[in-house]
Structure 1
Amino acid sequence: MGERRDTQLDALRAVAVSLVLYAHFLAPGGTSFLGHLGVRLFFVLSGFLITRLLLEARDAAAFEAGPALRSFYVRRAIRIFPPYFAVLGLVWFTDLEQSRSSLTWHALYLSNFWYALRNDWTPWVLCHLWSLSIEEQFYVAWPVIMLLAPRKRIEAITIGAIAFSLAYRFYWPITAVPALARDLLPPASMDALACGGLLAVRRARGADVPRWMRRGWPAFAAAFLAVVWS
């Protein structure tokens, strides 16, 4: 299960990084819209790249679901675990912002649940890990679906995931306690991740962008910005 780089996607990553850094360090107090936009762009890219990788593995002549899953998880672990746990080790050693009490949650990639359940960004030094936790939770479930589901159902599954996530986002403000859970729990980010997945699925089967999507993109863009802004 190999990986290849696309310079266009690297440029989009740079844009996403810039938006997040601006929101964290340069934006006026309380202005987080561009940071949200950057994170969602990251999620779309991740959904696209991971889904493309899994579909390519599925198309291989010697494809078997079990070995393909093992290969995927091993590659993710080798790539992500060393720097991630090095950061946690540094935080544990220095006990920055008295973070040791929450390190188990972060080590298990449950940072998003830690902050959502407390409705508070303490410790702030580790708050950026919530999005990495979302990514890891996505990595656990999505490969199983992409490699085991009937191929003809995969596009419908991605569309269903997008619809479910949007329904969650619009329903949650009515009942949300605590409020941070609206953005930090996994369903809140599945629209962006699955949008990337849908793009990869359509690209894999050589499908062009539907006419209704080409004509309606301004409305979709406005709706997306409204959801992220709210």
Structure 2
Amino acid sequence: MANARDIQLDALRAIAVTLVLYSHLLAAGGSSFVGHLGVRLFFVLSGFLITRLLLEARDASLFEVGPALRSFYARRMIRIFPPYFAVLGLVWLASEQSRPSLAWHALYLSNFWYARHNDWTPWLLCHFWSLSIEEQFYLVWPLIVLLAPRKRLEAITIAVIAFSLAYRFYWPIAANPALARDLLPPASMDALGCGALLAVRRARGADAPKWMRLGWPVLAAMFLFVVWSDPGPANSAWEWPRWTLVQVLPLVPMLAIVAACSNGLRGPLGRLAEFPPLLALGRISYGVYLYHSILLALTVRAQSWIPVDVSEQGPGRFIVAGTATLVVASLSWVFFEKPLNGLKRYFPYVAPSRRRGASETRGFGTAPALDLRPTDRGRP
């Protein structure tokens, strides 16, 4: 398999989860756009990797839709469910306030829960909104990739991105800056779709368009200018355009960076993207994202035992809660997630072909299965 391991994509996972930790543990006032930027990068990565994986399965000579779909969902459950539901179990034990919403989280409807109540309660699970978005994407997108006419996939992907962008025009009409604006699935389909578009183009021998590869620094600079601009008073004329630009402008830079890393950066940037500690953080990034809020809550409760201030955003909280998160996520990966990932070998995307001859008549002996495993040592 040509793309057996995109090692530099782990570096992007590490960057994405670091942005989330920075927003939740260190930055004064939360700097929510920084964490949201990390989540959007996760979405682009997921859209690219999942779509590429499904297209490679579809191209195999022994491909069948039914077995491929069953294997996809089984492998996603093996990778995602165990630590996810372990966290929900811990929250059920530790936080009575969170219990009324746990059924929503267990059904991967966290984003709808928070949008429905227009409030981040319970805050302990508020980051689960993005995991729900991804699971909703996994539920529908494989059906499209594996069943839609191959020549229509690029147009379908562009239509998904266009619909997501158009969705943003509803909010100034509704005059309602509710959480639903950011948390309902259409608000994230542009990022997931951009990653998927890159995979679809790669499958037909193309890459990111030249204007994206050359023009992304300009869009990145425009994004920084908009972020640093004065947001103005609430409900000002600049509020909605600013929000839209903050959401949309990073998409092309992210797509270009994912494209470059999946091809393999060379030189100093390539060496940086393969820096072992960065890759290690990328591998455990799913656990870091899952566990960090619980460990933050435990850190704050233990303030009387900790010699530095962890009750507020700042270096003390970042160092203590961040270190605890890395330790727990590392242990989870080594002793929990990685062993379970070994079960994926029982769910190949393409069924193994039988050897011809006597072994076939006796009903045993199979050729090795075509290995189309996703590059998901860390997050998907």
**TM, length-normalised to structure 2:** 0.57
Aligned twin of 1:203? 202
Question: Residue deviations 1:207-228, cap 9 Å, x none?
Answer: 1333343454355544797536
Q: Deviations over 1:53-103 (max 9, x none)?
A: 100110011111111100100000111111011111111122x15111110
Tell me: CA distance 1:142–1:87, structure 2 relative to 1, closer, same or farther (3 Å).
same
- Against the structure 1 CA distance between its residues 83 and 30, is the aligned structure 2 distance closer, same or farther, given a 3 Å change threshold? closer
8 Å CA contact 2:23, 2:30 repeated in 1: no
CA contact (8 A) 2:145 2:153 kept: yes
SS in structure 1 opposite 2:188? Answer: helix
CA contact (8 A) 2:110 2:132 kept: yes
Per the alignment, residue 5 of structure 2 pairs with: 5
- Taking the aligned partners of 1:173 and 1:109, their CA distance within structure 2 comes to 28
* Distance change in 2, residues 1:128/1:97 (3 Å): farther
* Higher RCO structure (Cα 8 Å, ≥6 apart): 2
Higher helix share: 1
Equivalences for 1:78-97 in 2 at 5 Å?
A: 78-94=78-94, 96=95
Distance 2:138 2:153 in 1: 16
> Equivalent residues in 2 for 1:18-37 (5 A)?
18-37=18-37
Inter-partner Cα distance in structure 2 for 1:29 and 1:124: 16
Report the Cα distance in structure 2 between the residues aligned to 1:30 and 1:18, rounded to whole angstroms: 14
CA distance in 1, matches of 2:42, 2:96: 27
When the two chains are superposed, the root-mean-square deviation of aligned CA atoms in Å is 2.1
Name the amino acid aligned to 2:67.
P
- Give the direction of change, closer, same or farther, for the CA distance of 1:176–1:123 in structure 2 (3 Å limit): farther
Evaluate the alpha carbon distance shift between residue 117 and residue 228 of structure 1 in structure 2; reply closer, same or farther with a 3 A threshold: farther
Distance 1:87 1:157 in 2: 36
SS across alignment from 1:207: coil
Whether the 8 Å CA contact 1:57–1:63 is kept in 2: the answer is yes
Give me the TM-score of the superposition, normalised by structure 1. 0.92
The answer for the alignment partner of 1:15 in structure 2 is 15
Answer yes or no: is the 8 Å Cα contact 1:117–1:178 preserved in 2.
no
Structure 1: runs of 5 or more not aligned: none
Q: 2:147: which partner in 1?
A: 148
The answer to whether residue 246 in structure 2 is matched with residue 229 in structure 1 is: yes
Counterpart of 2:70 in structure 1: which amino acid?
A: R
Larger Rg, first or second structure (1 or 2)? 2
1:61 aligns to what SS in structure 2?
coil
State the percentage of identical aligned residues. 79
Q: Which residue of 2 aligns with 1:160?
A: 159
Paired residues of 1:182 and 1:188 also in contact (CA < 8 A): yes
